[in-house]
A and B are shown apart, each in its own frame.
Chain A
Amino acid sequence: MSQSLLKLDNVTKVFLTDEVETHALSGIHLEINKGEYVAIAGPSGCGKSTLLSILGLLDTPTEGTYTLNDRIVQGLSPAERARIRNREIGFIFQSFNLIGDLSVYENVELPLTYRGMPSSDRKARVEEALEKVGMGHRAKHVPSQLSGGQQQRVAVARALAGQPAVLLADEPTGNLDSKNGDAVMDLLQSLHRSGSTILMVTHDTRFARHADRTVHLFDGRVVEESVESKE
C-alpha cells in the first residue's frame, strides 16, 4: 500500500487586496504518495503557483488542513516552517533562482549551510548532487558563466543536495529551449525512478505526460485528475 506524503484537505486560499477578495484556491483536496510523480496543470492564473507556495510552506492556506509526513503543518511558526522547508522540501524554479554572487558549489551548498551541517558532510553532499546532475566539473563557476540548461541542472542539484522528501518544480522548463527542456525532464524522470517524490507545476501538457498523474486546476479548483499510462 502507498504511503501518503502530502495531503491537502479542503484547502482554500483567499487574497485580500484593498477590500477585494480573490479566491485563488477553493476546496482543494490533494494527496501525494511517497515516490509519486505528480503534475499540476492548468492555464495561467488558475492557482497553480499558489498551490505550490502552500505545498512548499511559503504561504499558508486561509482554510483547510495541510499534512506533510503525517504532521499538520499549516499552523507552524515561521521558524519551524523554515526548518521543514530546509529539510523536507526541494524547490526547482522556472527562472532557476541561483544566487549570482555565489559559485555553483556555494549555491548547492546553501540549504545545507542553513541546516548547520558540518563542512565535510556538506562537501560530500554537494559533490554527490552535482555529479548526479552532471555538473561536477562546473563547481567553481558562477551562474552567469553557465547556459540556461546548466543553470537549471545546478538548481536541481541544489534541490537534491538536502535529500528532501519532495521536489517541488515550478515550470522547470519554462525558460529553456526544447533541447534543454527535454534534458531537464529526463533528469527529473531519472530522479523519480530512483525514488524521489516530485510535484511539478506546468502548463505544457507535453511535459505533464512525464508524470504518473496529472491534476488539472481551473479557477482555483481541481477539475480533473488523469493518470498517465506508462507503456
Chain B
Amino acid sequence: MKKINYFLAALLGLSFSFASAQTPKGSVLIKNATVLTVTKGTLQNTDVLVQDGIIKKVGTNLSAPSGVETVDATGKYLMPGIIDAHSHVGLDVVNEATSPITSEVQMKDVVNPTEIGIYRALAGGVTISHAMHGSANVIGGQNATLKHRWGTKNPNDIIMMDAPRTIKFALGENPTRVHGRGNGIQPRSRMGVEAVIRNGFNEAIQYQKAWADYDSASAQKGNKATSPRYNERLQTLADILDGKIIIHCHSYRADEIYMLINVARDFNITKLVFQHTNEGFKVAPEIAKYTMGASVFADWWAYKFEVYYSTAFNAAILNANGAITSINSDSAELIRHLYHEAAKTQRYGGMTDDESLAMITINPARQLGISELVGSIEEGKQGDLVIFDSHPLSVYTVPQMTFVDGIKYFDIKEDKNDQRLTVSPTEMVENVYLRQQTERCMQDTEHLFDMAGNLFNQN
C-alpha cells in the first residue's frame, strides 16, 4: 500500500505534498463574507471553500461538502493570512554574533514552536512569519519561514517546508559595531562590510572550483586526488551565487543599499530583498530594477544615527517606483497589528486598499518566494485566511478568526486566558507574564555591549 502511494506520488509529481503530508490540513466553508482577495479585487457576499488545506472554490451559494464546517461571515471581512517578512518570533537563538560571516548557521535548527508570540501573532491575523537570523553579522544565518500552526511542540510542524531558502545579510552600524568596534576585526566601516561580502563570494567561487576539480579528478582511474575540506559556510555562499537562496539584507542608508545592488550585479545575483531600507526612497528606481524589493517599517526610525533620515512615505514612494514593497514588524509587539501598520500607508502616501493590503500579504509572499502558494485568496492557493469584524484597514477592526491550511488556530470567541503550550513546573511566575518578549535584531549580542549598551540602541 505504501509502495503504491509512493509510486502514485512520484507519477503525479506530488512527492512534495507527500513529504509534508504530516502537517494537519483542514476544510472549511466561509459564507457570505466581503472577500478581499488582494490580487483579484473585492468580492461582496462571497463564499470561500477550503478543502484539505487548499482554497477549492471562491464564489456564491457554495454548499459545504459533508463533514465540512461552515462559518457564517455575514457582515465580516475575509482576507488572506497576513505575512510578516521580518520577525524573530519562535526562535530560541537569534544571533550567532561571533563571526562576520555565519552563513552555515540555520534558524531551522532553533525554532521553538511553543513560544507564546506565535499565538499572539495569530491573534493579529498573521499566518506566516519570516523567522530571521539577527543583524550582528554581515552575512548571518539562514532563516526559517514559519507557518503559525499553533499547538504543536515539534518545530518541523511549523516550518514551511515548501518555502525556498533565504539568508540574512546586514549592513551598516550593527556589524561594524559588533565585529569592528567590539572585536577589532573587519568590518570596522561600511567599506569593510562590502569587502567582507565580496571576499566571501570570491572564496565561495574558489571553493566551488576546488570541489569541481576534485570531483572530476577522483572520477579518473588511479587518481591521487584528495578532497578539499568541507565548508558549509562557503557552500551556502556558493548556493547564493547559484540562485538557490534569497538574500534578505538589513540596511538603512541609500549608499549602502546601492553598494549591495552593485555587488549583487557583479556576482549575477538577482534574488535580493532589502529589509528596513529606511532610505530606500532615495534609490527606489534602482531597488525596483535590480532586486525583489524592500520590506520596510511603516514609521519607525531615529533609534540610532543611521536611521535619522527617514519618512513615513517610504513605502508609498518605493511602491510608486515599482519596487515590490512590504511592511514588516521585526517585533513581537508590532506583529500583532500589522494591519494597522499597513493602513499607515494610506495616511502617508494615499495608497489604495489593495495596495496597502498587498504590503502585508502578496508582496511579502513574493519576497519570500512563496507567492504561488499563499498571499492572496485564489483557488489553488493554501487556505491561510483571516476574518475581521470590519475592514482590516480600519483602526477599529478586530481579527475574529485565523486559519492556516484550512484549520482554525485562533478564534476570538474561544480565546482562553492562558494559552501557554508549556508550563514550568517550578516557576510560579514565568517570563511571559512579567514582560512582553520583544525579539530584536540584536538579540544574543547584548553581552558584547555591556558598556556600550546604555549609549547605543541595538535595533
Question: Are A and B interaction partners?
Answer: no
Taking Cβ atoms with an 8 Å cutoff, the residues of A that contact B are none
